[in-house]
Structures are given as C-alpha cells and as structure tokens.
Amino acid sequence: MSNHQNRRPQPQQKGKKTRQKVQPRAPRGSGAKRAADVIVSLALVAVVGAGGWRFYQNMQPIAQEGDHLAVGLVTEPLTEAPTEPSVIYQNIAVSNDDIHKGSLILVNYDTAYEEFDAAEIVSIYEHKTENYHVSGTETSIRQPAMDALNEMLDAFYVATGHSDIIVISGYRTKEQQQALYDEDLEQTGASSSTRVALPGHSEHESGYSLDVSLYEDGVQYDYDGTGEYAWIDKNCANYGYILRYTEDKTDVTEIQAEPWHYRYVGEPHASYIMSNNVCLEEYLTLLKNYDNETPLRIINWDGEIYEVYYVPADGASDTTYVLVPPDKEYTISGNNSDGFIVTVDTGEIQKFEETQEESSEEEPADTDKPEENTDNAGQDTGA
C-alpha cells in the first residue's frame, strides 16, 4: 500500500517521539473492504508477505449461513452508508496448519520452525537498496522483512550518513543451521552449543531474521548497536523489526545477548515489544489474555491504533473459526504453537490532545504503556 511509506518519520525526526509529530491521516479502508469480502481459507503469509500490511483481497464469500456469526452478516456490498460496521464480526475458517505461518511465529529452543511458503524467500542482493551491503548473493530473507529492511536502512543512512551496515546472515535452511551447529561444537569441544541454535530451532530458518556487521574498505567489523548505530535500536520498531535477543531476557529466550540479530514481526507488534521491553516469548504469552471483545489496543509509533487478540486453535478439528471484523483491515498470523493472532487496523489515529480519561473502560489497564514509554523504546542492553 502506498500509504505505508508515508508513515515513516522524516529523517530529521530521528530518535524519540516521532509519533507526536506525525500528522493524522485521513480515515482509510472503507471502500474496498466490504462485508462480502470474506476469506474462507487463508494463505496468511502470502498475503501478509507481498508488501506489508495488506488486506486480504482475493477472497471468496463465505458459504455458511450464519454459523458462528457474532452479529448478522451483511452479505451485499455496502452501497448505502454502513450502520455501525464496527460491531460486525465474521467467522472465517482457518486451517490449523496455518498456526505455523506468519510474521509472529515463535521459533526457539522449545518450538521448531515448520517450513512454509518458500517462494516468499528472496535474495537480499537482488532487492536491496544501495545504502547497505550484503555478504553474498545467496543471502536471503522473507519478502515483508526485505521491504522493511530497505526502508529502515535507507532511513538510517539519511539520518546518520552510514552505509556500512552489512547483512551477513538471513534465511538459513535446516542443513545450513546444522552445519553451523556442528562447526560450533567442533570449536568448543562441547556436546551442545550455547551460541548456535539447534537445527530446526533457529529463527533464521523462518526467514524473518537477520544478522548485521559493519563493512568498510573490505574489512568486516563487529556490530554492537552503539554510538550512531543506536539509531537502529531506537527506530527499528517503526519498520516492524525488534532487537530479538537482549541481555536481560536471556533466561526467557535461552539465547545470549545478540545486538546484531534483528527479527521482523511487523507493525504494531514491534512498537509494543520494543517500548515495553518484552521479548517475543513474553509478548505472545501476554496476547493470550486478549480476545476480540477485549483486544489489546496498541498505539503504533505513528499514532495508528490497532487491536490485537488471540484465538486458540480448535484442537478438536483441522480448522479453527476466527472472528474478524470484515469492515476493517486485518491480518492473521499463527504463533507456531497453539493459535492465531489477529491484528486489526482500526483506522483510528490517536489524538494526542485527548486525556487518558477518555480511554474506554473496557481497555485493559496497560494498553497505554506504549504511549507512556515512548522514550524507552531504545534498547541499551546487550551492547
């Protein structure tokens, strides 16, 4: 979507509080998203993939009549002014296989990656801009992470003048991860590795992660995210990226601090994770407290308000019915273990003049945290 790029801060606005400076945008998403445009089955990541947050457009009308409907479904295109469209929820059937797909999948020591949509893996060398380097033509990443990487490192270059970031690792096959693992055991003489993830359990296998170094005059230097490079930790959430492994979360992630490793989770999740200093494991656990009636409201860095909620997979079936608001933009991602996360773009912009008393009493108490903690968005740990 073209408006995606408009959400980026101007280069001069580097650092904190870019949200407050963003002009409210016109409400979007009314015309194209009609109640009749409902998914039956999802190709989740393919949809999320080709260009970021995109509404599922290639859909078929749902055939069932009224089953699991929360409110009466509008089956005709809305040519008249819609009446209270925000209360309409539509149940869509999602294959339980899709638990393992999407930009919020957790891949860690306990949860292995299950391959999906390999066509989405693209060569960084072939798609990157000129403002950074990549270590080889075969280094690759998943498409949505690719687009966001370009935007992030272009903005980093504009803000700092640095074009010496080099992506040294992206997507890895299980075989490549095995080779790295074996190499580490050889070097350390140990029977298991604390530095390299088990094959099948590396986030790199998902295609959503990358490692960076610095590269200048043919020499490669370690990247630690300090100095002017701290811009990336402060701003990566604006592009859907998080610093994945920090020093203070090693007991949860079971991975040492890695200031060079970034993970794409998409907006607005990255804003919440970075602003509230939770790791992905903690965030996905937190989301289980929210359903469609009491979603987690996240104010994205640009003021856009999202509603996020968890839908547990139906263990008694191959399919899970997921309640979604068909009149709004939404995406669905699996969590790679037991359910789905629905992310709804409400189309509302946070009005910063408003007082907090105007917040709905239905909102959980901590939903304003991202706003309050804007100044803490940067991560200084693990440097």
Catalytic residue positions? 258
CA of residue 91 relative to chain centroid, distance: 23
Minimum distance from residue 103 beta carbon to Zn ion (Å): 17
Considering the complex, what minimum distance in angstroms separates the CB of residue 336 from Zn ion?
A: 17
Cβ-closest residue to Zn ion?
Answer: 261
Asked whether the beta carbons of 354 and 360 are under 8 A apart, the reply is no
Q: Binder to Zn ion among 211, 254, 348, 368 (CB under 5 A)?
A: 211
Residue 282 backbone phi and psi in degrees, to 5: -65, -40
Of 128, 261, 328, 369, the one binding Zn ion by CB under 5 A: 261
Closest to 326 measured CA to CA, from 80, 65, 56: 56
User: Coil, strand, or helix at residue 309?
Assistant: strand
In angstroms, what is the minimal distance from the CB of 260 to Zn ion? 7
Q: Which range of residues in 97-105, 177-185, 207-215, 287-295 is near Zn ion by CB under 5 A?
A: 207-215
Nearer to Zn ion, 211 or 363 (CB): 211
Residue burial 338-363, b: 16+ Cβ < 10 Å; e: rest: ebbbbbbbbbbbbeeeeeeeeeeeee
Residue ranges of the alpha helices (H) in 202-243? Answer: 230-235
Size of the site for Zn ion (CB under 5 A): 2
> Per CB under 5 A, does 263 bind Zn ion?
no
Stretch that binds Zn ion, among 113-121, 203-211, 281-289, 351-359 (CB under 5 A): 203-211
Name the segment binding Zn ion (CB under 5 A); options: 136-144, 181-189, 260-268, 372-380.
260-268
Q: Where are the alpha helices (DSSP H) in 161-288?
A: 174-188, 230-235, 250-253, 269-276, 280-287
CB of 165 closer than 8 Å to CB of 153 = yes
Q: Looking at beta carbons only, is 34 or 204 nearer to Zn ion?
A: 204
Amino acid, single-letter form, for residue 338: D
The two structure tokens encoding residue 156: 């980093």
The least CB distance from residue 197 to Zn ion, in Å, is 8
Query: By CB under 5 A, which span of 44-52, 204-212, 262-270, 341-349 interacts with Zn ion?
Result: 204-212
Q: Is there binding between residue 314 and Zn ion (CB under 5 A)?
A: no
- In angstroms, give the least distance from the CB of 210 to Zn ion: 7
Handedness of CA 173, 178, 179, 184 (dihedral sign): positive
Which of these ranges, 68-76, 89-97, 140-148, 208-216, lies near Zn ion under the rule CB under 5 A?
208-216
Q: Which residue has 């979604």 as its token pair?
A: 324
The two three-digit tokens of residue 111, written as one number: 């949860």
Binding mask 89-118 for Zn ion (x = CB under 5 A): ------------------------------
Tell me, what amino acid is at 294?
Answer: T
Q: 201 vs 261, which CB is nearer to Zn ion?
A: 261
- Whether the CB-CB separation of 279 and 261 falls below 8 Å is answered with no
Residue type, 148: A
Q: Which is nearer to Zn ion, 211 or 380 (CB)?
A: 211
Contacts with Zn ion, residue ranges (CB under 5 A): 211, 261
